[in-house]
Amino acid sequence: MYSHTYYIQAPPAKRAPPPIKALSAKNVKIPEASYSITPIGNSKHFMVSAFIDHRLDGVIQVISIINRNSLQPLYCVYCSARQVCKTVYTDVQIHSDHFGYPYGASDVICKGEHMQHATHVLITNEKGSADLKMEYLPIKNKVVQETFKFNFTVCISSLFGGYNNVLQFAQTMEMYKLLGVQHVVIYNTSCGPDLEKLLKHYETEGMLEIVSWPIDKFLNPSRGWDIRLHKGDIQYYGQLVTLNECIYRHMYQSKYILLNDIDEIIMPYKHASLPPLMEDLQSAHPNIGVFLIENHIFPKTQFEESGKFKRAEWKNIPGVNIMEHIYREPPQKNVYNPTKMIVNPRKVQQTSVHSTLKDLGGSFHVPFDVCRIVHVRVPLQAHLTKEQLFVDRRIWDFEQKLIQNIDQTLKLSGFL
C-alpha cells in the first residue's frame, strides 16, 4: 500500500554538479559522523544513516529528518574508498505520517553512476561546500544477505524522560528470550540510573543493542503524538525516524522485526513461541511481509488477588511487576484498537507506528486468539471494575522458567 509522498527535486540543470576531486593522499580516511543525528549544513535538516536499497536498483537511501516548512533542493555527495566523490541531485520523500509536526521522517534518495563502489555519503544543500573535512555517513547494506544473524529482533523506538522501570523491563526481556527473540534494539535518549545499570547488563550479555539517540540536543521533541496536546518540533522523540532506521539497519541481519513499545509483549496464544507462530502465518500467507497484532490493555491498577507473584525478592526493585496484572480490558466497540507489527524488513520501505506506509506484498491482521499484545500500563477504561475485565493468565504459562531467569538477571546486574 502506497501513501501520498512529497517529492522535492532540484531544478533541471544543463549539466550535473562537477565531481569533487580526490585527495592526493591515498591513506586519508573519510571522516564519519560522530553522532546518530548529523545536521545538514546551511539547512534546518538532519541526516541519520545511509543504506543501499537493492529493491530500488541500488540507490543510496539516507534516513533523514526534514523540516517540512523549509524545503529546499538537496544534493548527495558520495565517495568511494579512493576518496573519489561525485555529486548528484536528490529526491526528498517526506513520510506522510508526521502528525502535523514541523519535522518528519524522510528518505533522501541519491541516484547516480557507480554507487555500488561508494562507501560514504553526505547530504548538502546547493550553497554548502562538500569536502573531506565534513562528516560523512558510512553506507550500510551494501551486500544482499539471504541468511540472517537473528530470527527475531525487537525495535524499541525511544527511551526518554529518565525512564526507570527496571522490573517490567527485565520481565519483558526475559519473556522475549523464552518466546524466541535473540536481539533487542533501543534508541536511548535518556533513562534512570537503575535502568541504565540493567541496560549495561543486557548489552554486555549480547542481547541488547543500544543506539544513542540525542534528539533533544538538536530539536525540541514532543512527548506525544498529538500536536494539540504535546507541543514540539517532532512527534514522540522522533519515533518514526527510529522505527524506519531500525528496519533498514537490520534489513539483512534479522529474518523478522517486532515493532512495539517497551511496555508491550507480542504474545502468541496458540503457539509456544514466535518461531512456530510465524512459520504457520507465513506458510498460510506466503507473500505477506507485514503482520498486524492487536493491542490489549492490562491495567496496572488491578492486581491479581492471591498475591502469589507479590514476591519479597522484588519488593525494592523499581518498576511494575507485570505478573500481578492478569486482568485485560475488553475491546471497545466503534473505537479504533491500534496494532503493532511483526514485519519482514525486506518487504518494508516506509513504516508508521501502527501500520506500514509503503510495503511490498501487503499486510495481514492476525486474529486476536492467535496472537495479541500484552500491554501492562495505566488503564484506558478506568471506569471498569475488576469484574468487568477479562482474566488472562497467558504470562503465567511461563512462570517457572521466567521467574528463575528474572532472578538470575537481577542478581547479575546487582539488584539482588
pLDDT > 80? residue 15: no
pLDDT at position 291:
98
Other C-beta atoms lying within 10 Å of the C-beta of residue 304: 18
Instruction: Point out which residues pair with 341 in neighbouring strands.
Output: 259, 292
Calculate mean pLDDT across residues 381-393: 95
Per-residue pLDDT at 10: 43
Instruction: Report residue 154 CA to chain centroid gap.
Output: 8
Distance from C-alpha of 145 to C-alpha of 251, rounded to nearest angstrom = 9
pLDDT of 31: 87
Confidence label for 189 from pLDDT (cuts 50, 70 and 90): very high
- pLDDT more than 90, % of the chain: 81
Q: Cα dist. 406→182, 199, 375, 403 in Å? A: 16, 14, 19, 5
Confidence check: pLDDT of 14 > 60: no
The mean of the pLDDT values for the chain is: 91
**Residues 231, 235: Cα–Cα separation, whole Å:** 9
pTM for the whole structure: 0.92
Strand pairing partners for 107?
Answer: 63, 93
- Give the helix/strand (H/E) hosting 297: strand 290-299
Cα angle value 186/191/193 (rounded, 5°): 125
How much is the average pLDDT of 348-377?
96
Mean pLDDT over 9-22 rounds to 48
Separation of alpha carbons 307 and 279, rounded Å? 37
Residue with cell 529546499: 72
d(CA 95, CA 352): 9
Mean pLDDT of 135-145: 95
Contacts of 138 (CB under 8 A, 6+ apart): 32, 50, 119, 120
Q: What's the whole-number mean pLDDT along residues 204-229?
A: 94
- The predicted-structure confidence for 300-336, as pLDDT tens digits, reads as follows 999 999 999 999 999 999 999 999 999 999 998 888 8
CA distance 283 to 278: 8
Residue 131 has pLDDT above 90, yes or no: no
Confidence at residue 12, expressed as pLDDT on a 0 to 100 scale: 47
Q: What pLDDT does residue 336 have?
A: 84
User: Which residue has better confidence, 11 or 220?
Assistant: 220
Question: pLDDT tens digit string along 94-127?
Answer: 999 999 999 999 999 999 888 889 999 999 987 5
pLDDT, tens digit, for every residue of 74-93? 999 999 887 788 899 999 99
pLDDT of residue 4: 29
- The answer to whether 375 touches 268, Cβ cutoff 8 Å, is no
Tens digit of each residue's pLDDT (9 = 90 or more) over 18-48:
554 444 335 568 889 989 999 998 899 999 9
Beta strand 6-9 with 327-328: parallel, antiparallel or unpaired? unpaired
Q: What is the pLDDT of residue 8?
A: 39
SS3 for 403?
Answer: helix
H or E element: which one contains 240?
helix 239-249
* Average pLDDT score over residue span 212-217: 96
Residue 134: what pLDDT?
84
pLDDT at 17: 57
